[in-house]
Structure 1
Amino acid sequence: MAPLDAALGWDDDTTAETYAAFTRDFPMYGVTSRDLARRASLTGNSLVVDLCGGAGATAKSILDLVPMHAHVISLDNAAAMQRAGRRVLTDPRLTWGTAPAEKLADHVPDPADAVVCNSAIWKTNVPVVFSAVHQVLRPGGRFVFNIGGGFAGVRHPDEVAQRTGQSLNALIHQAAASDYGYTPPPATEAAPKLPLEAITEHLSTAGMTLVGSEIVAQHSTMAEKKAWLSIPVFARPEGEFSHTQRMEILHKAYSLTKPDAPTVTSWLVVVAQRPTEER
């Protein structure tokens, strides 16, 4: 059994509950959500969209910054993720909408002051979504999102400096090879899925402008990395393994590391805007 696809496998209760627990127990989503919310300049906003909002980790950070009269719409295609979020996030200012990001305009009744998307733009039809974001934003409204360094083709200097020894993914491949005769796929240097040049072009085509971008480093630990790889959509290795087998492989690989060993991942953060004056 192959791992659940990272774009299509989210509407699964086990995945949703494991993911929601990760967002509560580890800092990654809290840190990245607060960073995006801060860049969106939300203090005077009335309507904000949390795009591909999952279980509501980013919506929570948005709600912490918007005025008490503001309204937040969290849109996601996975009902299971939203069920997990609704159980813990009950703010009356928040509305949950179940729909793909490409249908954003059908679920935002009034012009939005900002659209925020945490680590999910890569799995959408980017030109269609950017066009929908332009459609729902008021003139001058902000669109803020981030992309993992691998998808964007960027690497923060901290990630380069921190690389010592084998990664947990490499140890997983070794354990799978030792215990199951697994043959890892050949290492290839794939072209980045969404480099900044392509993002800028897509934004321009959609009628938005790039306000700024920054490569940031997310500092965490091997324990957090293990928890991340315990979420079914991210469990490794690929191939005909059950989830139980993947967890056995993960535990064996993790036993060769130190829980508090530092890890660093890179992110490209993008801030765009619908122009205040359009042709």
Structure 2
Amino acid sequence: MAPHDAVLGWDENTTAEAYAAFTRDYPMYSATSRDLAHRAQITDSNLVVDLCGGAGATAEAILTLAPAQARVISLDNAAAMQRVGRRMLPDPRLTWVTAPAEDLTTHVPTGSVDAVVCNSAIWKTDVPTVFAAVHRVLRPGGRFVFNIGGGFAGIRHADENTIRTGLSLNHLIQQIAARDHGYTPPPATDAPPKLPLSTVAGELAAAGMTVLDTEITAQHSTVAEKKAWLSIPVFARPDGDFTHEQRMAILEKAYALTAPDAPTVTSWLVVVAQRPEEAQ
């Protein structure tokens, strides 16, 4: 099954509007979307799937690179996100399908897709089921390109270790929540990462796909961008019994202790897989 928080909170208008505003105002999703679309090699494609496509940031990058006759299907389980996406990206080449990633084969014909791209969201899904579904819809030789956040993959880019500007915004949030609300942060654990490369590679192989390339990349941003990201309701911190208003008040106090332009780094594991060509 997918993690319980895979859909929780995403199908709400406040989250959808805040998320879409973030994708317009800050470069993280547009930059990672362009990178994934480029790796998918879609310049000669006829049909591309934007899996867990949200409000369409990745679909927009795909449409920019794909040929004029190509069609894009953006599939996501959150209707609120897609309502915002339809308003922001009214492109006739783009079809919006409201459905979970696990139901991909219900909505896309077998063997019809040149590439499947998934930005920042594969962790939300039932990975073995989704990988099998992607294999079925891809044509032989079709690519599956996705990324996994460093925390989920258990990786860190070298830049994340060298760029340090004091306590992180997340750490400051926990400190202020503890001071003002008696918050007790969850204990640190040595639990293994949810989706390390070894697990991902094994699940891709089990689904009949081949890993072509992997890379640990770094997304450079600022504390101001991190604050905007943490203002989106589904990403707001700390966890626990807080209202959104309380979380935003804590965030503002934490942000006041930082330098807005201070650099931050987010690590990503990027995976390029392929449905093998059929033997002649």
TM-score band by shorter chain is over 0.9
Percent identity of the aligned residues? 74
- Cα distance in 2, alignment partners of residues 207 and 76 from structure 1: 24
- Cα distance in 1, alignment partners of residues 55 and 85 from structure 2: 4
- The one-letter code sitting in structure 2 at the alignment partner of 1:27 is P
The answer for the alignment partner of 1:37 in structure 2 is 37
* Matched residue SS, 2:233: coil
* Matched residue SS, 1:219: strand
- The one-letter code sitting in structure 1 at the alignment partner of 2:182 is G
- The one-letter code sitting in structure 1 at the alignment partner of 2:145 is V
CA contact (8 A) 2:29 2:57 kept: yes
- The one-letter code sitting in structure 2 at the alignment partner of 1:224 is E
CA contact (8 A) 1:6 1:233 kept: no
- The one-letter code sitting in structure 1 at the alignment partner of 2:232 is I
Query: How many angstroms does 1:7 deviate by?
Result: 4.1
Deviations 1:28-65 (A, max 9, x none): 00000000000000100000000000000000000000
The answer for the alignment partner of 1:101 in structure 2 is 101
The answer for the alignment partner of 1:56 in structure 2 is 56
Query: How many angstroms does 1:6 deviate by?
Result: 5.2
Query: How many angstroms does 1:190 deviate by?
Result: 2.4
The answer for the alignment partner of 1:193 in structure 2 is 194
Matched, 1:144 2:145: yes
- Cα distance in 2, alignment partners of residues 35 and 119 from structure 1: 12
The answer for the alignment partner of 1:75 in structure 2 is 75
Map residues 1-279 of structure 1 onto 2, 5 A cutoff: 5=5, 7-109=7-109, 111-277=112-278
- Cα distance in 1, alignment partners of residues 54 and 195 from structure 2: 21
Query: How many angstroms does 1:188 deviate by?
Result: 1.6
CA contact (8 A) 2:165 2:263 kept: no
- Cα distance in 2, alignment partners of residues 229 and 94 from structure 1: 29
CA contact (8 A) 1:6 1:234 kept: no
CA contact (8 A) 2:15 2:232 kept: yes
- Cα distance in 2, alignment partners of residues 109 and 95 from structure 1: 14
- Cα distance in 2, alignment partners of residues 194 and 140 from structure 1: 25
Query: How many angstroms does 1:108 deviate by?
Result: 1.0
Q: How many residues align?
A: 276
- Cα distance in 2, alignment partners of residues 66 and 274 from structure 1: 20
- Cα distance in 1, alignment partners of residues 94 and 101 from structure 2: 17
Runs of 4+ in 1 over 3 A off after TM superposition: 4-7
CA contact (8 A) 2:6 2:125 kept: no
Give the gaps of 5 or more residues in structure 1.
none
Query: How many angstroms does 1:275 deviate by?
Result: 0.2
When the two chains are superposed, the root-mean-square deviation of aligned CA atoms in Å is: 1.3
* Matched residue SS, 2:267: strand
- Cα distance in 1, alignment partners of residues 42 and 5 from structure 2: 33
The worse-fitting range, judged by mean Cα deviation, of 167-176 and 187-196 is 187-196
- Cα distance in 2, alignment partners of residues 164 and 248 from structure 1: 23
- Cα distance in 2, alignment partners of residues 263 and 6 from structure 1: 26
- The one-letter code sitting in structure 2 at the alignment partner of 1:44 is D
CA contact (8 A) 1:5 1:233 kept: no
